Amino acid sequence: MKNFYDILQYLKTYDVFIHLGKRLWDIEMAALEVDNLYKSDVISKEDYKKMKVILAKEHDQEAKLTGDYSGPDFLAASSVQ
């Protein structure tokens, strides 16, 4: 996986389709879905970490582009053990 699009395609294999109307919201929802898959032991720790890094980077870029920093810090809310 290299980018947000790859993560969306991966989520579709689990019948998770995300389109909320704003790219920033889509990224945040994808992060929640990735958290849920990891907590359910569906994805490996390595894949989880890789996806979270990609999502954090995409979220930061989109927030800078739009000037919208009102969203949650979804990386801080999750923990990898």
pLDDT of residue 76: 55
Beta strands in the chain (DSSP E): none
Q: Is the pTM of this model over 0.75?
A: yes
H helices of 21-71, where?
23-39, 45-66
d(CA 81, CA 21): 33
Query: What is the per-residue pLDDT across 20-62, written as a single tens digit (0 to 9) for each?
Result: 999 999 999 999 999 999 999 999 999 999 999 999 999 999 9
DSSP state of 65: H
Measured CA angle at 78 (ends 68, 54), to 5 deg? 60
